Amino acid sequence: MTKSKFQMIYDELVGHIENGDLKANELLPSENELAESFKASRETIRKALKLLSEHGYIQKMQGKGSVVLDVTKINFPISGLVSFRELADKMGKRAKTDVVGLEEQLMTADMQEQFQMKEATNVWNVKRVREIDKERIILDKDYLLTSLVPGLTINICEKSLYAYIEQVLGLTISFAKKEITVERPTEEDKELLDLKEYDTIVVVKSHVYLDDATMFQYTESRHRPDKFRFVDFARRTR
């Protein structure tokens, strides 16, 4: 499982940007120069630069060159597809997960709808409360196909579900469709979270898919409004 050449070039350039070798508003060397110094063809360099551009590290300008963007502001992506554990690790917060429910059950009609399946099969129903700095901020309600994700335990759910799925089961999580809305808190929300006096709750619904395009997980992540933050980098498509 060796990385591709353009990925390694991307990684190296990201390193140079993040540690300050390449500063904001500086121009990168030209594609031809990069091709020479990395001993790669120009198209390979361009694949690496494409990645940098998509992730908001650089802006390409025809006829001029590629300029480094100021990345200090964005940079912690709740955008994208990242697990709570990965996020908490990155932010260095005192985070704790409390598994308040874990059971196997037959899909409800509502779940069957979400998974778009013709027949109801068994799913794991996982409920987890996320505590940050001693406050219960997030309620995660996960539903996972037991056929694809067997052998769940409380211990796994406390640590990282995604680590188990990817590293133990060897599945590849590939993409997700997400929807953010704001709703009224339910009795369950009020019971399980430290909601204070808020009368709204931010709900992130996700449909998560493997690399063969099968959906294996539906999640509702319910956040106390004052602690919710979503950051995004978007390019205009025409």
Which tokens belong to 209?
Answer: 């898919």
* Burial (0-12, 13-18, 19+ Cβ within 10 Å), 32: exposed
The minimum distance between CB 142 and DNA, in angstroms, equals: 25
Q: Check if the beta carbon of residue 177 is closer than 8 Å to that of residue 206.
A: yes
Q: Which positions lie near a second copy, rule CB under 8 A?
A: 25, 43, 55-56, 59, 61, 64, 67, 69-70, 73-74, 79-81, 116, 173-182, 198-200, 202, 207, 209, 211-213, 225-226, 228-237
The entry of a second copy, DNA, none that residue 39 binds, CB within 5 to 8 Å by partner kind: DNA
Instruction: State in angstroms the smallest separation of the CB of 101 from a second copy.
Output: 26
Instruction: Please report, as residue ranges, which positions from 138 to 167 form the binding site for DNA (by CB under 7 A).
Output: none
User: What is the smallest separation between the CB atom of 40 and DNA, expressed in angstroms?
Assistant: 4
Asked if residues 45 and 13 have their Cβ atoms less than 8 Å apart, the reply is: no
Binding flag, residue 1, DNA (CB under 7 A): yes
Among 19, 20, 25, 39, binds DNA (CB under 7 A): 39
Structure tokens that stand for 157 in this block: 């759910």
H or E element: which one contains 189? helix 187-192
**Which residue, 208, 204, 209, is CA-closest to 224?**
204
CA-based nearest residue to 146, from 174, 122, 126: 122
State the binding string over 44-73 for DNA (x if CB under 7 A, else -).
Answer: x-xx-x----------xxxxxxx-------
Contact, 211 vs 202, CB < 8 A?
no
Q: How far is the CB of 162 from a second copy (least distance, A)?
A: 9
Tokens of 72: 């200090």
Interface contacts to DNA, rule CB under 7 A:
1, 4-7, 28, 30-33, 39-44, 46-47, 49, 60-66
